[in-house]
Amino acid sequence: MPCKIVIPSHKRHDRVFAKKLVNDPIICVAESQADLYQQFNPECEIVTHPDDVMGLIPKRNWMAKHFGELFMLDDDVHACKPIYVEKGEPSRIKDKDKITNIIQSLFEMASMMDVHLFGFTARISPVMYDESAFLSLSKMITGCSYGVIYNKNTWWNEEIRLKEDFWISCYMKYKERKVLTDLRYNFEQKNTFVNAGGLASIRNQEEERKSILFIKKNFGDSILLKSATTNGKDKTKQLVQYNISCKFKF
């Protein structure tokens, strides 16, 4: 059985870009927003959660329990990019069948390997691609496009409000020692920091800092802090005082 492809969304009823990428997407929203989402997205199934499930992290916990096996695609994802392409080849995959198959194939592989967290790379350029290592069990997933096969370890700590992808990657590495990442494909988002709705209302320097320090507190020396660099194309690095990476001793 294939997993469900679910788009968590909040106050972006007219901007669910991700639905155009895959077959049979499900949009998951609060009950009070259901009618508006159905009006603007009649081609999609709408699944609702109670209005008291507030914020992306509680929503992910709810979805994992509700669906069991699912792949989550943020509503502002608008492109699937192959990282292994040669110069002159298409830089984006536009066939919905192919993108859906890429997702379902990774889910099937995770199921066979008894891996409960799986996703795609955050790398954005073909120069970063290593053709000898296109799959990984030790790297992190990226927050806009990843899936879970629910079990007792599939859990997001609701004390943090941002960096939940980093949290769940670290937690599953600690608990199960493996996260399946496909390094051949990247799902690209619209500019997170100027797209209203979603987490835009809470995403700021202070919340980023709090989330980073909370993760550091929970995982200790495995979390490495490093000074952020200035990069005009990377809004995140401009908003936080430092970035984080992880290195577990196994």
Domains belonging to the chain, first-starting first, are 4-195 (3.90.550.10)
Q: Once rounded to an integer, what is the mean pLDDT over residues 162-184?
A: 93
Helix (H) or strand (E) holding 223: strand 223-227
121-172 pLDDT, tens digit per residue, is 988 888 878 888 899 999 989 899 999 999 999 999 999 888 899 999 999 9
What's the CA angle centered on 131, arms 86 and 129, to 5 degrees? 65
CA 134 – CA 178 distance, rounded (Å) = 15
- List the single range of 46-50, 113-117, 186-190 with lowest mean pLDDT: 186-190
For residues 124 and 18, what is the distance between their CA atoms, to the nearest angstrom?
A: 18
Tens-place pLDDT, residues 30-83: 999 999 999 999 999 999 999 999 999 999 999 999 999 999 999 999 999 999
Q: How many CA atoms lie within 13 A of 98 on its CB side?
A: 9
Mean pLDDT of the chain: 87
Task: Give the span between the Cα atoms of 217 and 97, in whole angstroms.
Answer: 42
Q: Is 82 exposed, middle or buried (0-12, 13-18, 19+ CB in 10 A)?
A: middle
